[in-house]
Amino acid sequence: MSATLSLAVLVSGRGSNLQAIIDACRSGRLRAKILAVLSDRIEAEGLRRAEAAGIPTIALAPRGYPSRRAYDEALFARISSFAPELVVLAGFMRVLSAPVVEAWAGRMINIHPSLLPKYPGLQTHRRAIEAGDREHGASVHFVSAEVDAGPVIARVRVPILPGDDPETLAARLLPREHALLTATLALFAERRLEWRPAGIHLDGCILDRPLELGADDRWLPA
Ligand code: GRF
């Protein structure tokens, strides 16, 4: 059995995805350890969740840094001090500067509430409804310099139902986001997933399209 996967998790707000990771580690479903939780917002509920779980926290406000890059370098210097194998952006609401992203290429993932490449950016639930889409979802992807545009590892789908508004749709999607993020992390923990310049590899084979998580929390056949 290979060693436990070590993580640093970045949050800006509520931290329900962080909580899902904490719960999955506790239950033994995920062989991972969160070394630290970091936030750009001192008041982030996610920091409180980490404290409650006994995980070291760092709140670093961007104010006072002369540039985005200076802030990002300070934040990632803190992250590096923990030497995590993987950085997880779980509701981290800042765009990271290219040098930092490049330094962590293949070692940083993000969860985004849309079926990427559809709807990068904000207001994804509203945009999916307004477009008349019949389904929506979430994606876990490697972080690249362009926002929400890095290689997609895995996705999960939910239906858009008549009468949905952004709140009802977000509420349907959120538990599926949690399942997607923890299931994807489990693949990393089992050492089955790997980023290579040629593409994402699963079990040593190139992944030619994103994995899809089914309603029963199992990966659908390719
Ligand atoms: C989630 O919808 C996630 O996909 C997006 O931001 C939200 C964060 O929620 N990136 P939480 O802070 O994990 O509850």
Residue 176 is part of a domain; what is its CATH number? 3.40.50.170
What is the distance between the alpha carbons of residues 146 and 155, in angstroms, rounded to a whole number?
19
Which atom number of ligand 1 is nearest to the Cα of residue 15? Answer: 12
**For residue 193, what is the enclosing H or E element?**
strand 193-196
What is the distance between the alpha carbons of residues 20 and 141, in angstroms, rounded to a whole number?
18
- Assess if residue 12 is contained within a domain: yes
What is the distance between the alpha carbons of residues 9 and 46, in angstroms, rounded to a whole number?
10
Residue range of the domain that includes 153: 5-213
pLDDT of residue 162: 96
Mutate to test the pocket of ligand 1, among 177, 180, 181, 184 (most ligand atoms within 8 A of CB): 177
pLDDT of residue 159: 98
- Assess if residue 36 is contained within a domain: yes
**pLDDT mean by block of 10 residues, the chain; 222 residues:** 87 98 97 98 98 98 96 98 98 96 97 98 98 98 94 98 98 98 98 94 96 97 84
Write down the residue that tokens 């409650």 correspond to: 52
Structural domain count of the chain: 1
Name beta bridge partners: 89: 10, 110
What is the distance between the alpha carbons of residues 124 and 209, in angstroms, rounded to a whole number?
22
Q: What is the dihedral of CA 102, 189, 41, 112, to 10 degrees?
A: 70
- Assess if residue 222 is contained within a domain: no
Could you tell me the distance, in angstroms and rounded to a whole number, from the CA of residue 205 to the centre of ligand 1? 30
Q: Select which of 112, 125, 141, 178 is catalytic.
A: 112
137 lines ligand 1 (CB under 6 A): no
- Assess if residue 173 is contained within a domain: yes
Residue 34: left if φ>0, alpha if ψ -120 to 50, beta else—which one? beta
15 lines ligand 1 (CB under 6 A): yes
pLDDT of residue 2: 57
Could you tell me the distance, in angstroms and rounded to a whole number, from the CA of residue 199 to the centre of ligand 1? 26
Alpha carbon distances (Å) from 183 to 87, 93, 153, 193, 209? 16, 22, 11, 12, 17
- Assess if residue 135 is contained within a domain: yes
pLDDT of residue 1: 44
Decide if 136 is catalytic.
Answer: no
- Assess if residue 37 is contained within a domain: yes
- Assess if residue 219 is contained within a domain: no
pLDDT of residue 222: 79
pTM: 0.96
- Assess if residue 31 is contained within a domain: yes
